[in-house]
Amino acid sequence: MIGNCIVIYTPFSDVRFGEHSWINPGLTIIAAERSESVKNKNGKPLIVGRKVTIGDCCWIGEDVVLLPGVEIGHHSKVGNGSVVTESVPPYHYVEGNPAVVVKKFDKSIAIGTHHIDLCDLIAEWGVQRSRA
């Protein structure tokens, strides 16, 4: 599910979304940055694209900012209002500005399955939801 107010503008780089992930409203993805090491013929810094990836079975909270080159590992969660400046390893929960690791999830819950059921993972994280 992708929530409201999502803008994906990537003229310089790729943004990749994994399967079974939940993207909440207000996500900002910045997939390019000014490079001081790469300059045009006039010596001015160029805009350089850096891929941003959201892995499989991730949960991205409201009003999150993902900065250039960040990868959110499979089965990870980013808390509301976080600014992710570095890649997040698989099975981790991060939050804050800048985002820091708050919790590591047990990989064994995925043994024997191709994907963790997102509903079960959300329940583990303690997020309230209604089953339709």
What's the pTM?
0.75
pLDDT for the residue 50: 85
Is the pLDDT confidence value at 26 over 70?
Answer: yes
Is the pLDDT confidence value at 111 over 80?
Answer: no
Is the pLDDT confidence value at 67 over 60?
Answer: yes
Domain boundaries, the chain: 15-125
- What's the topology of domain 15-125? UDP N-Acetylglucosamine Acyltransferase; domain 1 (2.160.10)
pLDDT for the residue 33: 78
Cα separation, 29 vs 103, whole angstroms: 23
In Å, how far are 32, 78, 118, 127 from 85, measured between CA atoms?
A: 13, 12, 25, 24
Between 105 and 55, where is the model more confident? 55
Share of the chain above pLDDT 90, in %: 37
